[in-house]
Structure 1
Amino acid sequence: MKFLVQQKIQADWWSKSFAGWILGLSLSIAGASFITIWGLQHLDKALAPQLGMWSVPWLYLPLIFIAYFIPKGWQAVLIYSVLNCIAYGILLALRG
């Protein structure tokens, strides 16, 4: 933990912006898809897509915010890319 505190936050905002705005949007859409799949099983069929749709900004905005606190831009892109691959892999496995 001490290592992370001592690291300087880099000013490479182009790659952090790409990670937050593009990859974060992709990740939030995957999260909304998980919410919709859950909602189809537990909620009314008409309510589940609305819940998924309106959950996108609640997932998207914190992902943008967090991207700028990752120390280096390439780390942000790598972390968000790996999370996207995992999320869409699980999503494809669920939808089969």
Structure 2
Amino acid sequence: METSGQGQAFQADWLSKTLAGMLLGLALAYVSIALFAWYGPGGIDAQDKVQFNMWMITPIWFSIFSATYLFRTGKRAWLLLGIPTLALYGVFFLLRSMA
């Protein structure tokens, strides 16, 4: 275990953190792009928006994925990525049902 400057231990949970980044990071990237695609400028039918959205998923996903190793534990990574993912999917489906 390594310790940060404040004396709190980081746990190595590499497998748990990697799976959280792969699965929840990708889900979070998808829902972020979906919200932008449907409710961003010009809506879903804006010119060249589909291509832009397609190319933006990877940098968003990899940014989230790389940041998962900064969580103290794998459980914390799952929790702190899972809550916003579920919340954003809830918002997305709520907005889609009202449209």
Query: So what's the TM-score if we normalise by structure 1?
Result: 0.84
Please state whether the residue corresponding to 2:70 is helix, strand or coil: coil
Kindly state the Cα deviation for residue 87 of structure 1 after the two structures are TM-superposed: 0.9
Paired with 2:17 and 2:49, the residues of 1 have a C-alpha distance of 32
Gaps of 5+ in 2: none
Kindly state the Cα deviation for residue 39 of structure 1 after the two structures are TM-superposed: 4.0
Structure having the larger proportion of residues in strand: 2
Kindly state the Cα deviation for residue 18 of structure 1 after the two structures are TM-superposed: 0.8
Corresponding position of 2:66: 65
Gaps of 5+ in 1: none
Going from structure 1 to structure 2, the CA distance change for 1:12 and 1:50 (only over 3 Å counts) comes to same
Paired with 1:39 and 1:54, the residues of 2 have a C-alpha distance of 17
Corresponding position of 1:80: 81
1:1-80 superposed matches below 5 A: 5-37=6-38, 38-41=40-43, 45-80=46-81
Question: Paired residues, what number?
Answer: 93
Structure having the larger proportion of residues in helix: 1
Query: So what's the TM-score if we normalise by structure 2?
Result: 0.82
Going from structure 1 to structure 2, the CA distance change for 1:12 and 1:4 (only over 3 Å counts) comes to same
Radius of gyration: which is bigger? 2
Residue identity in the other structure for 2:69: Y
Residue identity in the other structure for 1:87: L
Kindly state the Cα deviation for residue 5 of structure 1 after the two structures are TM-superposed: 4.0
Kindly state the Cα deviation for residue 6 of structure 1 after the two structures are TM-superposed: 3.0
